[in-house]
Amino acid sequence: MPGVGLVVLIGCGRLGSAILEGWLLTQTVAAADLIILSPSEKPAAEVARAQGARINPPLEALAEASVIVLAVKPAMWRDVVTPLLPFLGDRAVILSVMAGVTAPTLAEGIGGWPIVRVMPTTGVSRGRGVASVWSADDRARALGQALFEPMAETVVLADEALMDAATAVAGSGAAYFYAFTEALARAGEAAGLDAMTADVLARATLRSAADSMGEDALEALIGRIASPGGSTRAGLDALAKDGRLGVMLDETVAAAVRRNREMG
Please name the amino acid found at residue 23: W
CATH class for the domain made up of 173-263: mainly alpha
In CATH terms, is domain 6-158 a member of 3.40.50.10480? no
- Residue 3's pLDDT band, with cuts at 50, 70 and 90, is low
Q: Which of 25, 45, 51 is nearest to 151 (CA)?
A: 25
- Tell me if 34 sits within 8 A of 19, measured CB to CB: no
Return all residues near 126 (Cβ < 8 A) that are at least 6 apart: 22, 25
The residue type found at 193 is: L
Residue 126: phi, psi to the nearest 5? -105, 5
Residue whose C-alpha is closest to residue 47's, from 74, 22, 15, 73: 22
Looking at the chain, which residues constitute the CATH 3.40.50.720 domain(s)?
6-158
Residues 6+ apart with CB under 8 A from 260: 99, 100, 163, 164, 167, 168
Under DSSP, is residue 113 helix (H, G, I), strand (E, B) or coil?
A: coil
Q: Give the pTM.
A: 0.85
- Averaged confidence pLDDT in the chain: 93
Q: Contact 42/65 with Cβ under 8 angstroms?
A: no
Q: What are the pLDDT digits (tens) for 42-78?
A: 999 999 999 999 999 999 999 999 999 999 999 899 9
Rounded to 10°, the helix 195-213/173-190 angle is: 140
Residue 185: phi and psi, rounded to 5, are -65, -40
In one letter, which amino acid is 79? D
Measured in degrees and rounded to the nearest 5, phi and psi for residue 261 equal -70, -35
Amino acid identity at 52: G
Range list for CATH 1.10.3730.10 in the chain: 173-263
Q: Express each pLDDT in 68-110 by its tens digit.
A: 999 999 989 999 999 999 999 999 999 999 988 999 999 999 9
Question: For residue 198, what is the enclosing H or E element?
Answer: helix 195-213
Strands across the sheet with 6-10, in order? Answer: 54-55, 34-37, 6-10, 65-70, 93-96, 115-120, 129-134, 152-156
